[in-house]
Amino acid sequence: MTQDLVLSTTTGAVRTLTLNRPAALNSFTGAMHEQLLAALNAAADDAAVRAVIVTGAGRGFCAGQDLNDPDMSAPDGGGPDVGAVIERRYVPLALRIRSMPVPVIAAVNGVAAGAGANFALGCDMVVAARSAGFIQAFSKISLIPDCGGTWLLTRLVGRARAIGLAMTGDKLPAEEAQRIGLIWQCVDDTALMDSAMALATRLASMPSKALAETRRALDAAAMLDYEGALALEARLQRDLGRAHDYGEGVAAFLGKRAPLFTDR
Ligand code: T3D
């Protein structure tokens, strides 16, 4: 029987995906990767889903790669091929999060370490419990930050903090993570899921297409010059301006009523 390594529940237009290997702090096995990717694909394909929350069961969010998982073995039976695991598992996961048609919120309920930390940081918004912490655990086992960590960390908090976090592998408490701009919000432990759900519900009522294109434009702008970013903004606005939700937003504003956004 297949174990439910990722639990999926739906509340209104919000899909919540819960990593479910609490005994190993929800660390990633090949099987959990497969279930998570399938669950994200299902949320992306379901027109009724307008926001996604990812969280962890038990006391941890995710401790990165399960260091006991045979998935680490090379396909030819040789020694561990970490690069193959990254290519087969973490690259598709990171790209899937970044290409979701709806916002993805990480509700970090406890420790987020290694690829578990960068999986959370790659989501659109991160809400963390006050007792949670972020650990770039890689240096402790002689690896570099992966699952997008090298790209994300410098952009989120600048090189000085990025390299300090990556080299020391020290735990960054959630409160400090919010203070330095690594995450959106730190809340009391008991308020975590309500806060994440309130944020997700709010985003779900907003124009999904514009939110997804906002993510795309911000990511692309990091690699464009000013003129290139201005050109991309014009191109995306042209497309958005022709879509239903722009007309609806303007009509609702002029009609002094609440908008009903449906594009995705
Ligand atoms: O193939 C590849 O390696 C490529 C991919 C790389 C991406 C990566 O993510 S590399 C980084 C891998 N992650 C780590 O190195 C973190 C390892 N874990 C820890 O350092 C600590 O567990 C934490 C700091 C996250 C939490 O510490 P603590 O004291 O709160 O909990 P604990 O007692 O260490 O862990 C609780 C249980 O979870 C324990 O099992 P036990 O003894 O109760 O049976 C522990 O072994 C297990 N666990 C925690 N992390 C992992 C894990 N088991 C397997 N893999 C883990 N990553």
Q: Domain map of the chain by residue range? A: 6-204, 208-254
* Residue 77 reports pLDDT greater than 80: no
* Residue 176 reports pLDDT greater than 90: yes
- Section 130-136 average pLDDT: 98
Q: Which ligand 1 atom lies nearest to the CA of residue 65?
A: 9
Does the C-beta of 138 come closer than 6 Å to ligand 1?
Answer: yes
Does the C-beta of 68 come closer than 6 Å to ligand 1?
Answer: yes
Q: Which ligand 1 atom lies nearest to the CA of residue 67?
A: 55
> What distance in angstroms lies between residue 27's CA and the mean position of ligand 1's atoms?
7
Q: Taking the CA of residue 54 as centre, how many other CA atoms within 13 Å lie in the half-sphere pointing to its CB?
A: 32
> What distance in angstroms lies between residue 224's CA and the mean position of ligand 1's atoms?
38
Give the pairing type, strands 133-135 and 171-173: antiparallel
Does the domain spanning 6-204 belong to CATH 3.90.226.10? yes
pTM of structure = 0.97
> What distance in angstroms lies between residue 114's CA and the mean position of ligand 1's atoms?
9
Does the C-beta of 133 come closer than 6 Å to ligand 1?
Answer: no
> What distance in angstroms lies between residue 238's CA and the mean position of ligand 1's atoms?
47
* Residue 86 reports pLDDT greater than 80: yes
**Best probe residue, ligand 1, of 5, 19, 20, 25 (max atoms within 8 Å of C-beta):** 25
CATH number for the segment(s) 208-254: 1.10.12
* Residue 212 reports pLDDT greater than 70: yes
Question: Alpha-carbon distance 244 to 149, whole Å?
Answer: 36
- H/E stretch holding 50 reads none
**Region class of 83: left (phi > 0), else alpha (psi between -120 and 50), else beta:** alpha
* Residue 15 reports pLDDT greater than 90: yes
> What distance in angstroms lies between residue 170's CA and the mean position of ligand 1's atoms?
14
pLDDT value, residue 1: 61
Which residue carries 């916002």 as its tokens?
A: 103
73 pLDDT band, cuts 50/70/90, is low
